[in-house]
Chain A
Amino acid sequence: MKSESEKIIIISYVVIAVFLLLIMRLWQLQILEGSKYKKLSEANRLRIMAIPAPRGIIFDRNGIPLVKNSSYYCASIIPGEFDNGKVETLAKVIKMPAEEIFDKLHKKSLSPFVPIKLKQGLPFQEVAYIESRKSDFSGLIIETDISRAYIYGDTGSHFIGYLGKLSPSQSKDPAFEDIPPDAFIGQWGVEKLFDKSLRGVPGKRIIEVDALGRELRMLQEKPPIKGEDIQLSIDINLQKKAEKAFGDRAGALVAIKPETGEILGLISKPSFDPNLFTRGISSHEWESLIKDKKNPMLNRALQSQYPPGSTFKIVTAIAGLEEGVITPETKVYCRGGISYGIWQFGCWRKGGHGAVSLHRALVESCDVYFYEVGKRLGIDKIYEYATRLGLGKETGIKLGKERQGLVPNTKWKQENKKLPWFLGETFNCAIGQGYVAVTPLQMAVLMSAISNGGNLLMPALIKDYKPESHGNIRIRRETLEIIKKALSGVVNEPGGTGWSSQSHMTKIGGKTGTAQVVQQKDGTRYLPERFRDHAWFVAFAPAEKPEIALAVFVEHGGHGGGAAAPIAKIAIEEYLINSKLNPESSSGQDSKLGIQNVTHRPQDD
């Protein structure tokens, strides 16, 4: 048996050993893992709340605001502070299904201390109700956020675009990594294109909170930086008037300022209300938009291509004059059609136009004349000029993925159809039927180039943006003058197909087009709408010195002169009135709006 003293010494060693154990544990917690626990204690104490930055305001070219920011309340939860056992009770307080709360809580977030929005757009009574019960739920907070309202609703929505939450693919994209999961970003149109400058920089508020979630004091506040305002090239009043003129009909309109390439109006009908998207569109609403047979989400102005019909005769005429196969005096006799082998190629006027020169042929849109020009040119020459005029390739607008359209040639047919080219197809193409396909935007750009003396400009979305050009179309001035004079005749001379766009205000020049959807037999006057022809009208005004060039397209609208030309007239008149009221003293207007237009660089898709 050990002596008393020895026993006590053994106990002393045990005590020292236990102390060493405690010291080691302390070393582990404080030294080895100290920074981790320091972060955790900061996370306990500090609540970092993002202050949303007001998005830049979008103005039209005359300084009319198109959007506004309004704040609203939303109930959010900080997952790291919330007791998951209280979901059911919380569901009752904020009046939303418990499963939905579970879903949101289980979604991966940036950190357990970044609030997750549960319910947005709470009315004030509900806010008061939740505030009074907040103490029962640690981690429940009421935040204010800013929502985007589109003042003009579905007017111009394809151009302005809308905001939406990050899509699943975007949330994986490193370009969006600093965007909180609930934030709205531009997903369409100008909102998407200029998202970075419109977005601004969110501010930050660091608040000290205690364990009950009570806010004790604010440690730091970094105010948000408002996004930059932008002034678009479009004229919202033109847009509104013209959209109204479309009525229920589907179609598109693109109006361009010929000198600069600025888009003055861009319509695609039917359109959609971007306000649906700003607070998160419901899956039901989204489905009905997507499944709508009229396809309101399709931007017909640039994402849809159609045969240009007789508007293409402008191209054929230019090619004929430039190539010297015709002169303005060259006459062709129209009997109402021509035969080629076993095929008949009719003129729209069954009785024929008689002997017509180029001017009359354009004014009255004689098909036979252009069959002849086409025959003399050959498809490859038509191809060359159409391409030079910007058809069959992208215009370079950055609003979305645009269709290229199609201008055929012999090589194209050999490669794609494995067949040689037939002269009959040249006839069809010469009057804008057959394989030829264009977008309304391409036609507007083409008209703008003819109007401005040959500069093929890229469509610009921002007012006073430095024009970017694809280059000159290299057409002689005389040729352009002959064409412009003829187009003026289309509207203003007796027998002109575009007479319905005659305006008292200004002299409009234009060309109608009626693109066949199906071969119409005689006497079938009342076709179902989906088989009716597409109506085109391309125009510029004032005819002497054009300030606006445009293309109007009405899907299944029937005749171009009847359906499309009146819309063009309305758009032109509205624009000219507005531009007289708001003279282009651009510098003065800019400083008033505080806009620095040079800084807006469109981002690539």
Chain B
Amino acid sequence: MLRIDRRTIESFDWVTLLIVIVIAVIGIVTIFSATRPLTEGEHSPFYIKQATWLILGVIALLFIVSFDYVWLSRFCLPLYILGILTLIAVYIAGKIGMGAQRWLSLGPLSFQPSEFFKLIYIIMLSQQLSIINGPLRTTSLFRVFFLIVLPPFVLLIKQPNLGTALIIMIIFASLILAKGLYKKVAILFVIISLISLPFLGNIFWEGLRDYQKNRIVAFIEPKADPSGIGYHINQSRITAGSGGLIGKGYMNGTQGPFRFLPEKHTDFIFAVFAEEWGFLGSFILLFLYLFLILRGLDTARKARDDFGRLLALGITLMFSIYLFVNIGMTLGIAPVVGIPLPFMSYGGTALLSNLLSIGVLISIRSRRFYLF
């Protein structure tokens, strides 16, 4: 259970922790600038809240690291059931936030269960796939799909939380490919996917709210709706683009504080950063993210067992997808789906769950030399 010994300390993945903290601090600094008042007035306390969450998150991370991740495989089923239940709770009683039901209030706190659920889902999926010996057979593929993937997918579509629903699908596809399938099964999987795609697409499209449909339409044709979501895409592009090579300078960005860019401190924080720090700053930031992801993949490669390998891969891929889609939408090359930028966007639940996920990654890397 609690396994901290000399080797754990020695092989502790300080690099990952440091990079994550640096990125999170950059995030807080950017939130500070993005939410600064233009005239006399109180500075919105977003940056303080985010800093608080960062400290709490790092403590939680260290707590997770102190446990061997194998421990997670033993508790993944109750965790998973709890996760599904909270999703149902959200569906029934969740309060409306941003036009979608994603929040659950627990006393003074409100949190987004879907944030934590992603981690639980990856743990569950990795555990289920890791107990199968050899490549996947059709039966096990269907079992995993119907028992683990489909229920949360439907619940998330219902919320509707388009982004997370898509991510759990992509992670499923990636992990089964990583696990390996028999050629026949792989072909079957591809065929079923292709056949079900139009149906799924239709269900998906019908399940979308109007604003979500608009986002996709606007992505394809931004000029169709210059004041609505097209405006959002346009302003995001202007924000990032106006940074130029070296940026407008910290606290000198205008697009965010002047409210031209909506969601400036949450989903579109990268645009604000790019405006103030320019191409050079953005390049460095992206490099930090790339380093983090490559290190996560390296952790997966070096994991001591199949569970650790799939788990590290799933977590890293989740971050990668978030990162690509978020920055892609900020730069106008991906549709605007409400996806935050990991570690930087304002949001306590997301930051906490992301730090927990990093904790799991560090735990896997720090214990790669363990033998049973």
Residues of A near any B CB (own CB < 8 A): 1, 4-5, 7-9, 11-12, 15-16, 18-19, 21-23, 25-27, 29-31, 33-38, 40-41, 44-45, 83, 85, 208-212, 216-217
B163 at the interface (CB under 8 A from A): no
- Interface code B226-249, partner A: CB below 8 Å = 1, 0 otherwise? 010000000101111111110000
- B261's closest neighbor in chain A, by CB? A211
| Residues A4 and B301 in contact, CB atoms below 8 Å apart | yes
- Which of B237, B254, B301, B327 is in CB contact (< 8 Å) with A22? B327
Chain B interface residue number, banded = 35 or more
| Residues B283 and A23 in contact, CB atoms below 8 Å apart | yes
What are the residues of chain A within 8 A of B327 when measuring CB–CB?
A: 22
What are the residues of chain A within 8 A of B282 when measuring CB–CB?
A: 26, 30
- Which of A8, A40, A208, A210 is in CB contact (< 8 Å) with B242? A40
10 A-B pairs with C-beta separation under 8 A = A1-B180, A8-B297, A22-B328, A25-B333, A29-B331, A34-B242, A40-B242, A210-B257, A210-B260, A216-B39
| Residues A18 and B324 in contact, CB atoms below 8 Å apart | yes
| Residues A15 and B241 in contact, CB atoms below 8 Å apart | no
| Residues B297 and A37 in contact, CB atoms below 8 Å apart | no
| Residues A38 and B294 in contact, CB atoms below 8 Å apart | no
| Residues A29 and B237 in contact, CB atoms below 8 Å apart | yes
Whole-angstrom distance between the Cβ of A34 and the nearest chain B Cβ? 4
| Residues A38 and B242 in contact, CB atoms below 8 Å apart | yes
B320 at the interface (CB under 8 A from A): yes
| Residues B297 and A25 in contact, CB atoms below 8 Å apart | no
Whole-angstrom distance between the Cβ of B86 and the nearest chain A Cβ? 31
**Known A15-B290, A15-B297; contact A29-B241, beta-carbon cutoff 8 A:** yes
Give the CA-CA distance A18 to B323 in the complex, in Å.
Answer: 10
- Which of B38, B242, B297, B324 is in CB contact (< 8 Å) with A11? B297
| Residues A45 and B290 in contact, CB atoms below 8 Å apart | no
In B327-370, the 8 Å CB interface with A consists of: 327-328, 331-333
**Known A8-B313, A23-B283; contact A15-B293, beta-carbon cutoff 8 A:** yes
- Which of A1, A16, A37 is in CB contact (< 8 Å) with B238? A37
In B1-56, the 8 Å CB interface with A consists of: 38-39
* Nearest 3 Cβ contacts at the A-B interface: A37-B241, A211-B259, A41-B242
Whole-angstrom distance between the Cβ of A561 and the nearest chain B Cβ? 75
What are the residues of chain B within 8 A of A208 when measuring CB–CB?
A: 258
| Residues B286 and A29 in contact, CB atoms below 8 Å apart | no
| Residues A41 and B297 in contact, CB atoms below 8 Å apart | no
| Residues B237 and A37 in contact, CB atoms below 8 Å apart | yes
What are the residues of chain B within 8 A of A33 when measuring CB–CB?
A: 241
| Residues A26 and B237 in contact, CB atoms below 8 Å apart | no
Residue with the greatest number of chain B CB neighbours at <10 A, chosen from A41, A44, A45: A41
Give the CA-CA distance A209 to B259 in the complex, in Å.
Answer: 10
What are the residues of chain B within 8 A of A21 when measuring CB–CB?
A: 333
B309 at the interface (CB under 8 A from A): yes
Give the CA-CA distance A5 to B298 in the complex, in Å.
Answer: 9
- Interface code B187-218, partner A: CB below 8 Å = 1, 0 otherwise? 00000000000000000000000000000000
| Residues A1 and B135 in contact, CB atoms below 8 Å apart | yes
- Which of B237, B238, B255, B294 is in CB contact (< 8 Å) with A15? B294
| Residues A212 and B259 in contact, CB atoms below 8 Å apart | yes
What are the residues of chain A within 8 A of B297 when measuring CB–CB?
A: 8, 11-12, 15
Task: Add 17 more A-B contacts to A45-B260, A83-B227 (CB < 8 A).
Answer: A7-B178, A9-B301, A15-B293, A22-B328, A23-B286, A25-B332, A30-B241, A30-B243, A30-B245, A30-B278, A34-B242, A34-B243, A35-B244, A41-B242, A44-B254, A44-B258, A45-B254
What are the residues of chain B within 8 A of A16 when measuring CB–CB?
A: 290, 294
B274 at the interface (CB under 8 A from A): yes
Give the CA-CA distance A18 to B289 in the complex, in Å.
Answer: 12
